[in-house]
C-alpha cells in the first residue's frame, strides 16, 4: 500500500470517528453545561445535574430494575443457548444450517408483528407474564438470541470439540482409575 493510500485510509477513519463521536461529545457538553442559550458555547459547566440524578431514588430504582432485567435475559440465554449449541456442535453438526435459519427469524419478522405476537404469547396460557418484568426478559432473550448463538457457535466451530471431549473422557478415566488405586 502506498503512502498516499495509507494517508487516505487514515483520514477516512478519522473522519468517521469524528462523525460518530461528535454527537456523543455534544450531548456530554450539554449535560455538563449550567446554561446554554443563544451562544455557540455554554455559559459554564457544573456537575449539579449528575449529582441530582444519582441522589434521586426513582433513578436508582429504575437503574436497578434495568440491570436486573438485563442480567436476567443474559442468564436465561446463557442457560438455554450454551447446552443447545454444545449438543448441536458435538452430536448433530448437520443441524447448524437449520439453526442458522431459526436464529434469523427475529430479524425477518417486523418488530411490530413480533411485539404483538409476543404479547399474545406471554399473556395467555398457564404463565401470564403481562405486567411483570419477565415479559421484558423474554423479549430481550428473543432479541439477544441470534447474537449469542452466532458468537458461541463460531467459537465452538473454531475449536476442535471432538478432540477436547476425547481428552476430557481420558482425563475422567485416569482420575477414576487413580481414585480406585
Max CA distance (Å), the chain: 85
pTM above 0.85, yes or no: no
Q: Tell me how far apart the alpha carbons of residues 42 and 35 are, in angstroms, rounded to a whole number.
A: 6
Q: Tell me how far apart the alpha carbons of residues 59 and 64 are, in angstroms, rounded to a whole number.
A: 8
Q: Tell me how far apart the alpha carbons of residues 91 and 85 are, in angstroms, rounded to a whole number.
A: 10
Rg (C-alpha) for the chain, rounded Å, is: 25
Which residue in 55, 53, 35, 54 sits closest to 45, CA to CA?
35
> Per-residue confidence of the chain (181 residues) as pLDDT tens digits?
788 889 999 999 999 999 999 999 988 888 888 877 777 778 888 888 888 889 999 999 999 999 999 999 899 888 998 999 999 999 998 998 898 888 888 788 887 887 788 778 777 777 777 777 888 888 888 888 888 888 998 888 888 888 999 999 999 999 988 888 7
Q: Tell me how far apart the alpha carbons of residues 121 and 65 are, in angstroms, rounded to a whole number.
A: 23
The separation between CA 132 and the C-alpha centre of its own chain, rounded to angstroms, equals 21
With b meaning 16 or more CB within 10 Å and e meaning fewer, what string describes 137-175? bbbbbbebbbebbeebbeebeeeeeeeeeeeeeeeeeee
Per DSSP, the residues of 44-106 read -B-SHHHHHHHH-HHHHHHHHHHHHHHHHHHHHHHHHHHHHHHHHHHT-GGGHHHHHHHHTHH
Amino acid at each position: 500500500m502506498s503512502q498516499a493510500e495509507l494517508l487516505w485510509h487514515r483520514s477516512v477513519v478519522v473522519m468517521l470517528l469524528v462523525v460518530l463521536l461528535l454527537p456523543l461529545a455534544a450531548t456530554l457538553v450539554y449535560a455538563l453545561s449550567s446554561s446554554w442559550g443563544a451562544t455557540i458555547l455554554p455559559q459554564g459547566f457544573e456537575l449539579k445535574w449528575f449529582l441530582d440524578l444519582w441522589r434521586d431514588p426513582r433513578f436508582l430504582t429504575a437503574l436497578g430494575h434495568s440491570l436486573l432485567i438485563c442480567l436476567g435475559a443474559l442468564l436465561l440465554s446463557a442457560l438455554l443457548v450454551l447446552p443447545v449449541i454444545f449438543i448441536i456442535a458435538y452430536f448433530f453438526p448437520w443441524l447448524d444450517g437449520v439453526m442458522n435459519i431459526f436464529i434469523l427469524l427475529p430479524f425477518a419478522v417486523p418488530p411490530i408483528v413480533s411485539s404483538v405476537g409476543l404479547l399474545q404469547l406471554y399473556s395467555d396460557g398457564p404463565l401470564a407474564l403481562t405486567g411483570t418484568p419477565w415479559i421484558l426478559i423474554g423479549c430481550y432473550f428473543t432479541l439477544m438470541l441470534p447474537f449469542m448463538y452466532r458468537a458461541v457457535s463460531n467459537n465452538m466451530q473454531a475449536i476442535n470439540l471432538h478432540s477436547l471431549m476425547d481428552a476430557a473422557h481420558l482425563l475422567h478415566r485416569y482420575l477414576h482409575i487413580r481414585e480406585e488405586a
